[in-house]
Structure formats: C-alpha cells, structure tokens
Structure 1
C-alpha cells in the first residue's frame, strides 16, 4: 500500500472532479491524504480519507476576476491571485509531505507553488486539471479568448500572432514570480509560465475528445481521462417530487461572478414552455430571483439527483456542470461570464452538443430561441456521452497514478 498526498486549490470545482479517482485509489488499497477546503474535510474523512484543511491564507482565497472589463484584465486578475498564493501553496505542500512521508504527490494545476514543491521534493508526482489546459498547439487559437479554430492561411496567421501575444501576457503577469520561487527551491528557470505543464511526469486532464478539440498529437505526459462527475452525498436534498414537468436546470457559479441575470433570464424565458425551471443559485442569494409558479430556486441540488429528470441544462459554462450534462446526453446552452467559460462555450459550439449566447445579448427572448435550437442537438450530446465513457474515467486516472508509483 502506497501513501499518496493530494493538495487541491480552495475550490469545490477542483476537488469534486478528482473525487472518483481518489475513491478508486482508496479502493485499490492506497492511503490517500488530502489537504483541501476546510468545508470538505469532514465529508472526506467520512469517506475513508485522511483529510485536513488548507491554511486560512488559502482556505479563504477567492478569484476576483468577475468584474474585469476585458479578457486581458481577467487573465491578469486570475494570474495575480495564483501568484499571490504561491508561497502558501509551496509551504502547505512541503508541510504535508513532511507530516505524511508520502510515496507520491498529486497537485492541482492552479496551485503553482504546489507544483514547485512537488517537483522539488524528488518524489513521483502528477498534476491534474478539471478544465482545459493552456496548451500551445499549432492548430489552436490562443487559450482564454474563446475564439473559434481558424481555417485557411489568414486564420492560422491570426492565431500564430495571438498565441505569441497571449504567451507574452502569461509571462508578463507571472513568469518572474514563478521563476523566483523555482530558484528558491533549487529548480531551474522556465522560459514561459505555461512550461509548468511540461514539468510533471504525468498530467491528468478530466476531459476527452471530441468535447476537447481533437489533435493529431498530444504531449507525451498528458492523459485525457474523461470528466470526473462525482457529487457529494445528498442525504438531505430538497424534495422535488412536486415537479412533474420536464426540468430545465439553470446553474449559477459556485464561485461569485455576478451571474444572477442568467438565472432570471432563464426563469422568464421558459414561462409557458411546459418545462419547470430549477435554478441553483451557487454563490448568490436565492432571494435575488423572482421565480413565479413554473420555477424553483435552490441553494444547491445534487446533480446526480436532478440531471436524470432534465430535458436541458442552461449554464454559466462551468466545466463541471457542462460535462455532467453532456455525460447524461443532455443538450446545453452556455452563457459564459469569465474564467475558462468562454473556452468551455466554444467547445460546446464546436462539438455540436449545444448553443452559446453572449452575456451582451442575454435577454429572455434570445435565450428562449437558443433553448429551442439546443433541444434539437440531443443526438450529438448523446454521442459525446458515449465518448466520455470510452475515455476510462477514474480507472484510467488511477492507472496513470499507479504507473508513476511503479516507475519510482
């Protein structure tokens, strides 16, 4: 039996996609110790893990990009936040390693300091990401802008220029601090911040083609394993037995990004359609909304409990709910607000499993039209669900982890 030390960022959306893999490793006899959000520690311990809370410096950290005026400002806000966490990430993982003496380490892509501590430890280690990665691939537009894949010489020339520009911005906002911490921990400097993805022996990405773009060749250390769709146990979930109509699930982000207008637009758009709108408020106050008779607003509902009853999902474009919807063969309408959501929205459009509506044009009437169009795409969503199953999921990810252990 091996001991595997795991450190997450302070976000449920980064812990939950990993859970099926951690449970699989537990069931294979490994001792899994987890440093994560304080709110999740009791649940993890009840599931047979040894869990402890991140320090207060990390536990209370939140991304503050929601009010950025443009994509460049949003990228700056996110990277500045991740850079500010680096000393805490690094110290936190070093402490966990010293306490547990693990055989292997797993860290979240958004814990830059954790990656540095993992590499400097000399232990086998793996990186995971619950969302798309900023890979600089020759057929792709620059990551983060949500642009369509280009066709033709002019489009490819555009992407080449923009990729250089975005790489420069990543480096401008974070490379100096990343390299200072790497040198402090006895590691060499990187040429680019995104070169962090080249350092781990294994990178586990919780997505799969054809939702993720198909590519001729992937980096050798990258493993696409499909989505991690775990939801926490739902012993005291809301009673939805009174709802007899097909459900349109509307999700607002669990990390604040001021997306209440999405929930209300959906409530208004779907009146009289024969569907019952269920809005999960996420980081918002449910009293923000005016639900009416054909809608229900909740703090939280288990996706496992409600998705089998849904006809469609309307989302802010969070990777978790998007892939869960597609895993159930449900078409989706994405209204992206920020972070990685424009990239998620563009993948939804490109794979043909749903529709996208910009916040700039968000009205009940336009959203109603997008819902109607998306409902006709359920066949494509079913094909994505089958592809996700073939990717291997938690078993594939656990095999990657054990392969690193066996190589040690």
Structure 2
C-alpha cells in the first residue's frame, strides 16, 4: 500500500533536481507525494507527477532571475557575506514562516514522512512539532562538522598529525561561530511551534531521523566518521526538466568535445562564460556551452568552434565529452564524474570551492580561479585533455558511483521510515545500535 510523503523545497538552484529525483522515484513506486515549494518550481513539481503546493508565508524566489532571487548572494563581497545571506534569508531568518506553512500542510494532509532539503530548518522544526519522521537531504558533500575532517567550505585537504587536527578544531570553531546570529530567529520558530529552544543552530540540523547525503561516498574525505543518522546514498544524476529531452545539437567535427556549464542560477557569470569561450577558441577542440536559465545565450560572444545554447540534457552530451568546464556545482560535477569525464573547475562561490577541492583530491580534475584569464583557462583544459591520469581517475569514480547507485538507497531509507512509523502514530524511533553503522 502506498504511503504519503510531503517534500519541502526552496528555489535553491542545483539543489532542486536531486530532491525532485527522489520524489519521482517514490511516485514510480506507487506512493503519493505532495511538494511544498516556491511558485517558480510548481510547474517542475507537477511534471514529475507530484502534487504542487505553494508556500503561503515563506519566502518565494527564482534564482535564475536576479530581481526575484531571495538570497542575492551575487551581491555579497566576501564568502562570509554570502553565508550571512543564506543564514538570514533561508535557514534561520524565515524559519518561523517555513515552520508555519509546513505544519499547516502536515495538519491538513498528514504524511508518513516529511522530506526536506537540509537547510530548511523551519521545515525540519515543523516535522519535529508534528511528530512525523523527518528526512533531510544534503545535495552536496556532507556539509556539517564531524570529529574527523576539515571544516566545510574552506577547500582544505585532510589533516595529518596533531597540528593538522588542531588546525581543524580551530577552524571548525571559527566556521561554526557565525551561525550563532541565527539562533534567536530559529528558537522563535521553535517556540511558536510548541518546541523548546535549542542550544545551537548546528545542533538543530541533527534533529532528524535521517540525513541522506546525495553525493558519492568516494568524493568525501575517507577518514571522516559521521553521525549515526547520516547515510551516504549516492548522487542523483537526472537532468532538470528545463534542460529538455531532445538529443542535443553538437558542434560538427571529430575534435575533442568540451562541455561548458556554469550555474543554473544567477551568479554574475556572464564574463566568466565569455572568458571560457575565448579560451576554447585558441584550442583544437569543439565545445557546447550551455548558459542555463540565468543567462541569455544570445549575449555570449563565442568563436566558431563553440556552440552556445540555453540548455541541453547534459547526460547525453557527457557520453561524448572529453572534459567538462564547470563552476563545480555539485550536480554538474557528479554527472561528469558518473560519466567518467574529468573536470576543469572554476568555482564562483557557495559550496563550489569545496566540491572542486574534492574533485582534485580524487585526481579527477583541476581548479582555476574565477578571475582566471583565457590563457590560464586554456592551459588548464590542455592539462586535463593531455593528462590521462585525470580521465582514469574520473572513470574510477564512475565505477564507484555505478556500484553505489545500483540500488536506490535514498528511496529504501525513506520507505523504511514510513513503514516503521505510519502517519499519526508519532515519531519514528531514531537510529540506535540495531540500525547499524553509517554506510561507507
């Protein structure tokens, strides 16, 4: 008998397709799925067969349009400024609004499990208040502090020796400290939902029955130990609905094919796209440059060997590609790795520097700065094209992703929670010794 699931999503760019992939898989298995989401996502939600429900009081945005972007992190001058906008405009600031809308939906239409992207602490609060099992989805490498491993966001390699571990403890404390400014708003949401306050924002992220990491385990630091409720369930590599399904047009010829893709949301990436196109014009390659919904392809000037398009199904292109040039958004990075294609990463912000560092750690790509010249970009592309070790590493990761995703572990984990705690029966028991260790 099918179960009822409520998903809570926000217009978070690359975080949306993986979450909708999980929702679609549940629908295909006969379950009923409702999705609370921004108005800009409702058409995409309906396209997978889920029932779309718009937020009532929570923020509504469209990251492909700078005038409608809630966070507007492209205006921040520093990484700390970027972080503060996410904290104050999505994670903590409007937590009471997200909690109110989610709790109202759960009361009107009881669900067996609430599934939400991990940054929506307001939605997680509502699930806790309603007493239903809660699953958070991390759509990047695991982003929260752990006893082993460097802090997220700095792109650091694993520490070695006592000094390295001391470095990680100090830097982790520094990266966690800015969350404190969001605690009053989060606790106001918890109080309004009938819950006691929490001591820290970081602790609130762990108040879930499962955190499913939609990322290859091999891409994370191998020595890290994770909390018992965390499961690495492998990436979702479905193309977004707006990319279309038609076989993409490719530049003619038999020269190595380069796929270029920066963010699907607005990050002031116009100039970077043009520098990449200029770089590729100096190389014996052909390239497909997809701008995504945030940039008009007609505004990107490109040489004859670079075809510019708004969108294309990347999975189809990657079957023929020799290298991907990307901002190192998690979605594009793992799709490329799943296809055995090495990367040239040009991080623009957010979690992209972290993802790029993990790609480099496994030997599947190189990183250049977002202000790199066309000549520097061209050298990086040549290095990856002419260095067989990069493709070998990408193919090794591809084999590991294939093994990891042969079974849909995300769906299995969510269904397991639904079976253990039917709607109305209260909260599912948290992980215990019987549930076994975190999958590695």
Instruction: Report the TM-score, using the length of structure 2 for normalisation.
Output: 0.86
Q: Kindly state the Cα deviation for residue 125 of structure 1 after the two structures are TM-superposed.
A: 1.8
Q: Kindly state the Cα deviation for residue 151 of structure 1 after the two structures are TM-superposed.
A: 2.4
Is the CA contact (8 Å cut-off) linking 1:226 and 1:389 kept in structure 2? no
Alignment partner, residue 112 of structure 1: 121
| Residue-pair matches, total | 406
After superposition, the Cα gap between the structure-2 partners of 1:9 and 1:40, relative to the gap in structure 1 and judged at 3 Å, is closer
Alignment partner, residue 386 of structure 1: 399
Where do 5+ consecutive residues of structure 1 fail to align? none
Identify which of 273, 289, 313 aligns with 1:263.
273
Which deviations, in whole Å up to 9, do the C-alpha atoms of 1:31-76 show, x marking residues without a partner? 1111224344334334332223334853325322223222222211
The CA distance in 2 between the partners of 1:391 and 1:285, in whole Å, is 37
Q: Kindly state the Cα deviation for residue 90 of structure 1 after the two structures are TM-superposed.
A: 1.4
Whether 1:226 and 2:239 are equivalent positions in the alignment is no
Q: Kindly state the Cα deviation for residue 242 of structure 1 after the two structures are TM-superposed.
A: 5.1
Where do 5+ consecutive residues of structure 2 fail to align? 62-68, 422-440
The CA distance in 2 between the partners of 1:150 and 1:216, in whole Å, is 11
After superposition, the Cα gap between the structure-2 partners of 1:43 and 1:197, relative to the gap in structure 1 and judged at 3 Å, is closer
1:107 is paired with a residue of what secondary structure? Answer: strand
The CA distance in 1 between the partners of 2:295 and 2:45, in whole Å, is 25
Instruction: Describe how 1:145-294 pairs up with structure 2 within 5 A.
Output: 145-171=154-180, 173-233=181-241, 237=246, 240-241=249-250, 243-245=252-254, 246-282=256-292, 283-294=294-305
Alignment partner, residue 346 of structure 1: 357
Which deviations, in whole Å up to 9, do the C-alpha atoms of 1:81-138 show, x marking residues without a partner? 1233323311221232133222221111121211111111101221112113332123
Alignment partner, residue 140 of structure 1: 149
Alignment partner, residue 309 of structure 1: 320
Q: Kindly state the Cα deviation for residue 236 of structure 1 after the two structures are TM-superposed.
A: 6.9
Q: Kindly state the Cα deviation for residue 327 of structure 1 after the two structures are TM-superposed.
A: 0.7
Is the CA contact (8 Å cut-off) linking 1:251 and 1:316 kept in structure 2? yes
Alignment partner, residue 403 of structure 1: 416
Q: Kindly state the Cα deviation for residue 161 of structure 1 after the two structures are TM-superposed.
A: 1.0
Is the CA contact (8 Å cut-off) linking 2:248 and 2:316 kept in structure 1? no
The CA distance in 2 between the partners of 1:101 and 1:192, in whole Å, is 29
Q: Kindly state the Cα deviation for residue 370 of structure 1 after the two structures are TM-superposed.
A: 1.3
Q: Kindly state the Cα deviation for residue 369 of structure 1 after the two structures are TM-superposed.
A: 1.6
Q: Kindly state the Cα deviation for residue 230 of structure 1 after the two structures are TM-superposed.
A: 1.1
Whether 1:295 and 2:306 are equivalent positions in the alignment is yes
After superposition, the Cα gap between the structure-2 partners of 1:104 and 1:98, relative to the gap in structure 1 and judged at 3 Å, is same
Q: Kindly state the Cα deviation for residue 394 of structure 1 after the two structures are TM-superposed.
A: 6.7
Is the CA contact (8 Å cut-off) linking 2:11 and 2:40 kept in structure 1? no
Instruction: Report the TM-score, using the length of structure 1 for normalisation.
Output: 0.93
Is the CA contact (8 Å cut-off) linking 1:228 and 1:393 kept in structure 2? no
1:66 is paired with a residue of what secondary structure? Answer: helix
Is the CA contact (8 Å cut-off) linking 1:4 and 1:102 kept in structure 2? yes
The CA distance in 1 between the partners of 2:10 and 2:278, in whole Å, is 36
The two structures, once aligned, show a CA RMSD in angstroms of 2.1
Is the CA contact (8 Å cut-off) linking 1:20 and 1:394 kept in structure 2? no
The CA distance in 1 between the partners of 2:89 and 2:244, in whole Å, is 35
Is the CA contact (8 Å cut-off) linking 1:225 and 1:393 kept in structure 2? no
The CA distance in 1 between the partners of 2:84 and 2:43, in whole Å, is 34
Is the CA contact (8 Å cut-off) linking 2:360 and 2:367 kept in structure 1? yes
Whether 1:52 and 2:53 are equivalent positions in the alignment is yes
After the TM superposition, list the runs of 4 or more consecutive aligned residues in structure 1 that deviate by more than 6 angstroms: none
- When structure 1 is superposed on structure 2, of 34-43 and 251-260 the one drifting more is 34-43
The CA distance in 1 between the partners of 2:77 and 2:343, in whole Å, is 26
Alignment partner, residue 127 of structure 1: 136
Is the CA contact (8 Å cut-off) linking 1:11 and 1:37 kept in structure 2? no
